[in-house]
Amino acid sequence: MKELLNKIKNLFTKNEIVNPTAVLAVICIVVTLALSSTNLLTKDRIAKLAVKAQNEAMAKLIEADEYTELPAQTSFGEVSYHAAIKDGDTIGILLVTEANGYGGTIKVMTAVDMNCSIVAIEILDASGETPGLGQNVTKESFYSQFKGESGQIDAVTGATISSTGVTNAVNQALKYANEIISNQEVATETIENVSNDKEVLE
């Protein structure tokens, strides 16, 4: 890299007087191209690592053979979620939701079983919260109290702006989950009814 910069410098040197603007412009172009190339080379690897990290987070919350990402249409708009599938059956769903905390956005992953009860939650990001206070939401002693909850959660122990943010994110996930699971049950019942009608006709 040093040799390349020296060659560029020599190109714009006349009578030992360097044109700094031209050299600076060329350096900027070279650095930009280098960063672009690095990004292209590492993009796929970064994406794979992100998927691996997400799968590991989901496996901590609800054990399954696979996690399939699916879209769902809800009254809140289109939502993306992961279906946790074990032995060919969907045993729960996982949703990532966000809410405002004290110092920024708190991101939460919520795992819900097919009865719309919380299996577990994971705080994916609370980096903007105050160390020693708001970041207590990342401790198991705090987030474990959500387990088994269903429906609207009004309050949890350790009420701070940060914990309220987590509660809001979890409540949002529960709203999505209720609609997603209800729609799945309706779809399943419809398929079963069609099969039964076909048998009667035969």
Cα→Cα distances 148→14, 171, 190, Å: 76, 13, 29
Residues 66 and 154 in one domain: yes
Q: What are phi and psi of 93, to 5 degrees?
A: -135, 155
pLDDT digits (tens, 9 = 90+) for 79-100: 999 999 999 999 999 999 999 9
d(CA 95, CA 83): 9
Q: Are residues 119 and 171 in the same domain?
A: yes
Instruction: Indicate whether 49 and 79 sit together in one domain.
Output: no
Assess whether 77 and 142 both reside in one domain: yes
137 and 161 share one domain: yes
Give the Cα separation of 116 and 101 in Å (integer): 25
Task: Name the phi and psi angles at 124, rounded to 5.
Answer: -80, -35
**Tally of domains in the chain:** 2
Q: Which three-class secondary structure state does DSSP give residue 158?
A: coil
Distances (CA, A) of 70 to 47, 73, 75, 101, 133: 18, 10, 16, 28, 36
Same domain, 27 and 85: no
CA neighbor of 118 nearest in space, from 59, 161, 170, 155: 170
Neighbouring C-beta atoms of residue 128, cutoff 10 Å: 16
Q: Is residue 41 located within the same domain as residue 135? A: no
115 is in which domain, residue-wise? 62-201
Lowest mean pLDDT among 6-10, 23-27, 73-77, 130-134: 6-10
Same domain, 67 and 144: yes
Mean pLDDT of 147-165: 83
Q: pTM surpassing 0.75? A: no
- Say yes or no: 35 and 86 in one domain: no
The domain boundary, picked from 29, 54, 79, lies at: 54
Residues in the chain, how many?
202
Do residues 49 and 73 share a domain?
Answer: no
pLDDT at 65: 93
End residue of a domain, out of 11, 34, 54:
54
Shared-domain flag, residues 27 and 120: no
Residues 90-149: tens digit of each pLDDT = 999 999 999 999 989 999 999 999 999 999 999 999 999 988 888 889 888 889 999 998
Contacts of residue 121, defined as CB under 8 A and 6 or more positions apart, other chains included, come to: 61, 108, 109, 110, 111, 143, 146, 147, 166, 170
* pLDDT one-digit tens code per residue, 12-71: 555 444 556 666 777 777 777 767 767 666 777 777 777 777 788 899 999 999 999 999
Per residue in 2-22, is it b (16+ CB within 10 Å) or e — as a string? eeeeeebbeebeeeeeeeeee
Are 99 and 19 within one domain? Answer: no
